[in-house]
Amino acid sequence: MNRHILNLYKFAGCVAIGMVLYSLAGHTLVQAQNPAGPPAGAGMPDNNNPKLEDRRRQMSESGLRRAELDATTAEADYQKHILSAIEHIREDFTRIQVVRNNIARNLVARKPLDYKLISQQAGEINKRANRLNLYMLARASEGKEENDAVELANEEMSGALVKLCKLIDSFTENPALKNATTIEVKDVGKAKEEKANADRDLLAIIKLSQSIQKKSDGLKAPK
């Protein structure tokens, strides 16, 4: 997606500059084809006014400067978009782990299940995992059937929360997410396998958190 945005900005900048250069080139070509102007006695006499030539040159230079400014602005906008995306990814990645730790802490303490709290926690994990997937574009492994949802029984809630915590651990500790910028050619096959595992974990987190939230909503104590 970012690559498409980058190409769009660069394309727009190139088009703007190209139009100016094409206009200048066309003007130069006409002059080259007609170096001496119209035949003797035909047409208007040549205008050798230096101010007019200066004006034309200023307009050409202004067009180039405007095109360069547009390209610079587009590049700056692209950089802002990238920095914003990185910040959102970092925030979602960190927040998922924070919520996971809160769930695990309550499970270890054997506190009674607070379905309202669990619904909120699972809903936040689901929202942030889905947003991460906008950048990761996770795909299910070939040859494996993936169900749209997981139905949970009342007594399975604690086990589902434990599983969700383990999935988050596996996802956040995946080397594919930590070493994405330091992959060597010889490690490409391993990197693909790790990316497939990260995809699998992220999709599982999305589905399980959705099921936990749905089940918790049905188990909330009436107000």
pLDDT at residue 23, as a whole number: 42
Note the pLDDT of residue 78: 79
pLDDT digit string, tens, across residues 137-182: 998 876 554 545 566 766 689 999 999 999 999 999 999 887 655 5
CA distance 13 to 32: 28
197 touches 176 (CB < 8 A): yes
Q: Under a CB-based contact definition with an 8 Å cutoff, are residues 85 and 2 in contact?
A: yes
Q: Which residue has the higher pLDDT, 28 or 213?
A: 213
Cβ-in-10-Å burial (0-12, 13-18, 19+) of 60 comes to: middle
Residues 64-112: pLDDT tens digits? 778 888 888 888 887 888 888 888 899 999 999 999 999 999 999 999 9
Residues 112-134 have pLDDT tens digits of 999 999 999 999 999 999 999 99
Work out the angle at residue 144's Cα, subtended by the Cα atoms of residues 142 and 150, and round it to the nearest 5 degrees: 135
* Residue 105 confidence (pLDDT): 97
Q: Are 115 and 219 in contact (CB under 8 A)?
A: yes
**Where do the domains of the chain lie?**
92-219
